Structure 1
Amino acid sequence: MTDQHPAPGRVLQRKVLADYVYEEILSSLIDGRREPSATISIDGLARELNVSQTPVREALARLEHTGMVRRIALKGYTVAPLSTPKELAQLVDARIVIEPTNAEWACKRATTQLCDALQETIDRLGASHTGATFAEFRDYWQADEDFHRIIAENADNPFVLAAFKTLGGQIQRFRFFAGKGVTDADSAIREHTAILQAFLDRDPERARVAMVEHLVGVRERSVRDSGGVE
């Protein structure tokens, strides 16, 4: 009888490959090695990365949800244009609708383990490089993403979590760090720490306010980094 389920090792190997392809394409997009609005060749990417087309298609589908690439019917994928200052501000405004509620709800359910997990992401922010290429600031970006994701996951509402995930987090904003590096690490670490302190004090309302203040700061810095005026 044929085994209907792939071996665990094969599943892990496929996931590792899929993550590798995703990160390689993401890196090329953030670093600007692929021009905005340029057509993306799935076959070309597969040859470039020495993989089959399957993990490339999976990676592009994931990247479509972040807004980094766009899929056009009958034409395939293209590189998304850089966000305008107005679009960046609107993206953060959408986050302000969702994430302060996440912070409030997650704080109501805060545990020592949750606070430790948030502290660990802040420690990684402080220890990460913030240089000019995605390879240099990737760990910083991941720690920032993890902080907000952990809070969203612990808000215990799958519908709000789904809405949070569709926003693509900070990825669009990080495109503006290519070539100059992360410009607001000190501010972000200070603001994340204020949110964590509200969790440690089990103060949901203060967690909400601290998240609003953080995202307002993110909005102002995002517009500034994109060359716009808040």
Structure 2
Amino acid sequence: MKQTHAINRQVLADHVYAEILESLMDGRLRPGDSVSIDGTARDLEVSPTPVREALARLEYTGLVQRVALKGYRVAPVASAEDIAQLMEARLVIEPVNTRLTGERMTEQTMAELEQSIRDLETAPRGPSFSEFRDYFDADERFHRLIAENAGNPFLLAAYNALGGQVQRFRLFSGVGITDANHAISEHHAIFDALRAGDSEGAAAKMAEHVSNVRARAMADAPHSPAGTPGA
């Protein structure tokens, strides 16, 4: 009975998290907006507890911020400088993860990576988050599978610390999915190198992929009126 209760509670918490995330991604909650725990609980017809849990998870991703004595508010738009620094961190972590995963590759991991690419190819890419959520999920799953199978808990913790920041620049800019064909091609190149047993080559392809994502992100990121990265 206790296990069933725990599962039901987790399902509820995940549902609340998904609802708030969709409100963020679809622009119903905008940068700087306050997020009321009690108000959100009433809107979703749940107790405040799963709302608190969901907001704590979202705070970890950087999508909301806790304000002392005021609760939570939606995080500001990621600046070009934020994006550049985030991608620098990814360039340090992800190629190493890829090399280590290649050295430990199993048939199951290979199959899961291949499936994530198939899902990326077939996922809808409409203008609303409900339409492109599956694309985001498949994209993130590819990178997470590599991080989880690298066999290094410290690198995995570093990857997890990036949280939802990878997609944060898209959150409020209205950019949506603009690089799908490039991303799919780059995922294929990484996968092909891993399948060929070329761990170093796969790491190089991952570095190239992250560098390309950085360039595309910087082109889409908000800039100050003077054309320099925002503060």
- The verdict on a shared fold, with TM-score over 0.5 as the criterion, is yes
Quote the residue 1:95 is aligned against: 90
Aligned residues: 224
Quote the residue 2:169 is aligned against: 173
Runs of 5+ unmatched residues, structure 1: 1-5
**TM superposition score normalised by structure 2:** 0.92
Determine the C-alpha separation between the residues in 2 that align with 1:107 and 1:184.
Answer: 26
**TM superposition score normalised by structure 1:** 0.92
8 Å Cα contact 2:31-2:172 kept in structure 1? no
8 Å Cα contact 1:132-1:177 kept in structure 2? no
Q: CA deviation at 1:177?
A: 6.6
Quote the residue 2:102 is aligned against: 107
- Deviant stretches of 4+, over 4 Å: 227-230
Quote the residue 1:63 is aligned against: 58
3-state SS of paired residue (1:132): coil
Q: Please report the RMSD computed on the Cα atoms of aligned residues, expressed in angstroms.
A: 1.6
Structure 1 position 125 matched with structure 2 position 120? yes
3-state SS of paired residue (1:57): helix
8 Å Cα contact 2:99-2:200 kept in structure 1? yes
Letter in 1 for 2:73: T
Q: CA deviation at 1:227?
A: 4.4
Structure 1 position 223 matched with structure 2 position 218? yes
Q: CA deviation at 1:72?
A: 2.1
Letter in 1 for 2:106: T
Letter in 2 for 1:216: S
Determine the C-alpha separation between the residues in 1 that align with 2:87 and 2:12.
Answer: 32
Quote the residue 2:129 is aligned against: 134
The alignment-based identity, stated in percent, is 50
Determine the C-alpha separation between the residues in 2 that align with 1:193 and 1:65.
Answer: 30
8 Å Cα contact 1:177-1:183 kept in structure 2? no
Of 181, 185, 190, which residue of structure 1 is paired with 2:180? Answer: 185
Runs of 5+ unmatched residues, structure 2: none
Determine the C-alpha separation between the residues in 1 that align with 2:169 and 2:191.
Answer: 23
**1:26-85, CA deviations, whole angstroms, 9 ceiling, x for partnerless residues?**
111122211211221100110111111111111111111110011122222110011011
Determine the C-alpha separation between the residues in 2 that align with 1:160 and 1:71.
Answer: 27
Q: CA deviation at 1:89?
A: 1.7
